[in-house]
A and B are shown apart, each in its own frame.
Chain A
Amino acid sequence: MKKWQIAVVMLLAAFGSWFGLNTQAQAKTYTIATDTTFAPFEFQAKGGTYKGIDIDILKAIAKKEHINYKLKAISFGAAVQQLSANQVDGVIAGMNITPERKQTFDFSNAYYTSGVVMAVAKGSKIKNFSQLKGKTVALKTGTAGATYAKSIQSKYGFKIKYFNDSNNMYNDVKVGNSAACFEDYPVMSYGIKNGIALKIVSKQYEAGDYGFAVKKGKNAVLLKKFNKGLKAIKADGQYKKIVDKYLHSSESSLTGETASSRTFIGLFTQNLSTIGSGLWMTLELTIISIILATIMGLILGVLGVMPGKLGPAISSTIIYIFRGMPLMVLAFFIYIGFPDLIGHGFKIPAFVAGMITLMLNEGAYTGAFVKGGFQAVDDGQMEAARSLGLPYWTAMRKVIMPQGIRIMIPSFINQFIITLKDTSILSVIGIVELTQTGTLIIARNFEGFKIWLMIAIIYLIIITLLTWLSNWVQRRIN
């Protein structure tokens, strides 16, 4: 138990010091996190760039105040977590200034004021809160809408269901799984203007202020510059221009899409480059992770059948831990929990964290079947090899492994396919792979069915190719 822990800590610390140094060298560039799907404040436009009130305000202020920054679009929940874990320098994501948040963050002056409204499906008869009794309400985690709904839940007796992005929440209401959702007014009205089949049925409650946030006590300079810049763009009319542009126009005029591009083929060609880069990320993650997991699995398997007690004990402990942990928990632990533990502004890039996550999880599964494969080789084989005078490792390499690996090939193919599919879970730490790409495109055009169908077909195509390749390799080996 102790030994592997030390090994893991050392490995991650080595990664850490390397990246730590890297980021120090370019300390002038701030990393600002934003949400992925919160139109009109932030959303992905055609070609994969981000647009929206937040994005444009930030850009205008940065230009005025000469702030160098890198935009990082992740889910709102992840953005807030990363800000508190020091993984990013600031968050601008339609974030309400609340007393609770002020405990952990310092906020800029308010740059927008908005209230929460209730929205229901177009054909719904629900008009007020009391009609929600016994029904389910869809909420997006971490939003003002969620806080407000929670505060009135016991009074009106409804159930709550949480979502990680707005679009899934709207959809749940649209298809009737949930009776209503609570959302910031500008967001909701923008969505409806752009074709979401919902309607707003309440006035604005709990009007709140949006602010730009930094971690408490950190980045005071950045905050000061933001406030100064905000004042300046309000004074010179830029601010009003930005807000008007987004609140008084539909999505197509902002993203340059036309009605004819809403067919399946049209959507596909429109989003080709975005999907392509997501696909590439998925493939990159899959291939690197498969290689790393296979190496780790072989090591665990060999340790697992080694004579003596230590090797097998280390092997089963590692397999036990990483096979038992849900992939998402492991991803959050490595990406957010671990840097938190180390402190000192330690950061792990999402891609590296994702890779380590997949390596540990898939490697543990691989280790289990590699060990089983070696054990399935008859004991007499090792005895015969040793009786000829072959040393243990030579016998392992020349006699046990070739037979064991033949037994394992179907399991390897299976594991490769699982690895490919598991990359989609890494969207939770903000890796924009194929699945996340789908989420982003839908957040902008609301074409859920067509886009998910597209993504599903792409996965099936790669899995088919991967299976063919594996079968070919299998035939070659036999």
Chain B
Amino acid sequence: MAKVVVKDLHKSYGDNEVLKGLNLEVQDNEVVCMIGPSGSGKSTFLRCLNDLEVPTKGQIVISGYDLSDKGTNINLVRENIGMVFQHFNLFPHLTVLQNITLAPIQLKKASKEAAEKTARDLLDTVGLGDKADAMPKSLSGGQKQRVAIARALAMNPKIMLFDEPTSALDPEMVGDVLDVMKDLAAKGMTMIVVTHEMGFAKEVADRVVFMADGLIQETGKPEDVFDHPQSPRLQDFLNKVINV
């Protein structure tokens, strides 16, 4: 069974219908990149996947857990989904190490010692082994985002959601973050990545999904989507993005 199954997903804020009936399946180990104009509902979609937003209608099944089922323990599902935000959202009152160990320790996933050991290993993998005791505010944007990725990975998630992880970064920082994500993909992590980094999408994605106006307009292999866009909507979007 697919890792993520989304059926006829609707989401409205008052009269404003943001998601208008999305259908998507993501398989184990698959990397899906989502592209689309701003305001098309990409963030809203990702937030629905870990219940930060409650859908108005439709069904979401993650690793066999139906989110709309009242009996589903949402905190348990969330432990299996790591999320990385555009603005990092590190906890400013905690050190880098404490940011990473907070959830594992609070949720009794590991002893303090074991959690710190895992955290240091993760910091090594994202190239920040020397920053364990730093406060977030002393880090650059790229470093913050890598800490945020390490923090999400510390819960040992089965799926990772990325919402424009490099959009808030200075250009020279983007590469370090994308490298970490590429490594993760290579290790077989199931990933849904909202991004405007076309290069990354071409290189890493198994599939690219184009969203506009609250609907998935087109989906396919990266080379098909980027080189042979079918809908005028997508052609238009790609023109704009490439010309920037």
**Are the CB atoms of A389 and B87 closer together than 8 Å?**
no
Given contacts A380-B89, A384-B91, A399-B91, whether A389 and B52 have CB atoms under 8 Å apart is no
* Segment among A219-227, A390-398, A459-467 that sits at the interface with chain B: A390-398
Q: With the chains together, A390 CA to B148 CA distance in Å? A: 16
- Number of B residues, CB within 8 Å of A: 25
Asked whether A122 is an interface residue with its Cβ less than 8 Å from the other chain, the reply is no
Q: With the chains together, A391 CA to B155 CA distance in Å? A: 14
Residues of A within 8 A of B89 (CB): 378, 380-381, 383-384
Asked whether A386 is an interface residue with its Cβ less than 8 Å from the other chain, the reply is yes
Asked whether A388 is an interface residue with its Cβ less than 8 Å from the other chain, the reply is yes
Q: Which residue of chain A lies nearest to B52 when distances are taken between CB atoms in the complex?
A: A383
**Are the CB atoms of A389 and B91 closer together than 8 Å?**
no
Report B99-115 residues with CB < 8 Å from chain A CB. Answer: 102-103, 106-107
Residues of A within 8 A of B78 (CB): 386-389
Closest Cβ of chain B to A406, distance in Å, is 7
Given contacts A391-B75, A403-B92, whether A383 and B85 have CB atoms under 8 Å apart is yes
Q: Which residue of chain B lies nearest to A388 when distances are taken between CB atoms in the complex?
A: B103
Contact flags B147-179 to A (C-beta < 8 A → 1, else 0) = 010011001000000000000000000000000
Report B66-94 residues with CB < 8 Å from chain A CB. Answer: 75-76, 78-79, 81-83, 85, 87, 89-93
**Are the CB atoms of A402 and B76 closer together than 8 Å?**
no
Contact flags B38-66 to A (C-beta < 8 A → 1, else 0) = 00000000010010100000000000000
Given contacts A399-B91, A403-B93, A406-B93, whether A389 and B103 have CB atoms under 8 Å apart is yes
**Are the CB atoms of A386 and B52 closer together than 8 Å?**
yes
Given contacts A387-B78, A390-B107, whether A380 and B85 have CB atoms under 8 Å apart is yes
Contact of A402 among B50, B90, B93, B155 (CB under 8 A): B93
Q: With the chains together, A386 CA to B52 CA distance in Å? A: 8
Given contacts A398-B106, A406-B93, whether A389 and B75 have CB atoms under 8 Å apart is yes
Q: With the chains together, A478 CA to B186 CA distance in Å? A: 42
Q: Which residue of chain A lies nearest to B46 when distances are taken between CB atoms in the complex?
A: A387
Residues of B within 8 A of A384 (CB): 83, 85, 89-91, 148
Residues of A within 8 A of B87 (CB): 380
Chain B interface main SS type? mixed
**Are the CB atoms of A387 and B107 closer together than 8 Å?**
no
Contact of B91 among A381, A386, A387, A406 (CB under 8 A): A381
Q: With the chains together, A394 CA to B103 CA distance in Å? A: 9
- Number of A residues, CB within 8 Å of B: 18
Residues of A within 8 A of B81 (CB): 387
**Are the CB atoms of B152 and A388 closer together than 8 Å?**
yes
Q: With the chains together, A406 CA to B93 CA distance in Å? A: 9
Q: With the chains together, A380 CA to B83 CA distance in Å? A: 12
Closest Cβ of chain B to A374, distance in Å, is 14
Residues of B within 8 A of A406 (CB): 93
**Are the CB atoms of A389 and B107 closer together than 8 Å?**
yes
Q: Which residue of chain B lies nearest to A391 when distances are taken between CB atoms in the complex?
A: B75
Report A354-387 residues with CB < 8 Å from chain B CB. Answer: 378, 380-381, 383-387
Q: Which residue of chain A lies nearest to B100 when distances are taken between CB atoms in the complex?
A: A388
Q: With the chains together, A378 CA to B102 CA distance in Å? A: 18
Q: With the chains together, A402 CA to B87 CA distance in Å? A: 20
Q: With the chains together, A380 CA to B144 CA distance in Å? A: 14
Closest Cβ of chain B to A402, distance in Å, is 5
Residues of A within 8 A of B47 (CB): 383
**Are the CB atoms of B106 and A390 closer together than 8 Å?**
yes
Q: With the chains together, A384 CA to B93 CA distance in Å? A: 14
Contact of B83 among A378, A387, A403 (CB under 8 A): A387
**Are the CB atoms of A389 and B152 closer together than 8 Å?**
no
**Are the CB atoms of A390 and B103 closer together than 8 Å?**
yes
Q: With the chains together, A387 CA to B102 CA distance in Å? A: 13
**Are the CB atoms of B92 and A388 closer together than 8 Å?**
no
User: Residue among B81, B92, B148 with the most chain A CB within 10 A?
Assistant: B92
**Are the CB atoms of A388 and B93 closer together than 8 Å?**
no
Residues of B within 8 A of A389 (CB): 75-76, 78-79, 103, 107, 155
Residues of A within 8 A of B151 (CB): 388
Report A402-427 residues with CB < 8 Å from chain B CB. Answer: 402-403, 406
**Are the CB atoms of A387 and B52 closer together than 8 Å?**
yes
Residues of A within 8 A of B76 (CB): 389
Q: With the chains together, A394 CA to B107 CA distance in Å? A: 9
Residues of B within 8 A of A394 (CB): 106
Closest Cβ of chain B to A478, distance in Å, is 10
Closest Cβ of chain A to B103, distance in Å, is 4
Closest Cβ of chain A to B46, distance in Å, is 10
Contact flags A222-262 to B (C-beta < 8 A → 1, else 0) = 00000000000000000000000000000000000000000
Closest Cβ of chain B to A382, distance in Å, is 9
**Are the CB atoms of A388 and B102 closer together than 8 Å?**
yes
Q: Which residue of chain B lies nearest to A380 when distances are taken between CB atoms in the complex?
A: B89
Residues of A within 8 A of B90 (CB): 384
Closest Cβ of chain B to A371, distance in Å, is 19
Residues of A within 8 A of B83 (CB): 384, 387
Can you offer 7 A-B residue contacts whose CB atoms are under 8 A?
Answer: A380-B85, A383-B47, A383-B85, A384-B91, A386-B52, A387-B152, A398-B102
Q: What are the 10 closest A-B residue pairs judged by CB atoms, nearest first?
A: A384-B89, A389-B79, A388-B103, A380-B89, A387-B83, A389-B78, A389-B75, A402-B93, A394-B106, A403-B93
Which residues from chain B sit less than 8 Å from chain A, CB to CB? 47, 50, 52, 75-76, 78-79, 81-83, 85, 87, 89-93, 102-103, 106-107, 148, 151-152, 155
Q: A387-B152, A389-B103 are in contact. List 9 more A-B contacts (CB 8 A).
A: A380-B85, A380-B87, A384-B85, A387-B50, A387-B83, A388-B102, A388-B152, A389-B79, A403-B92
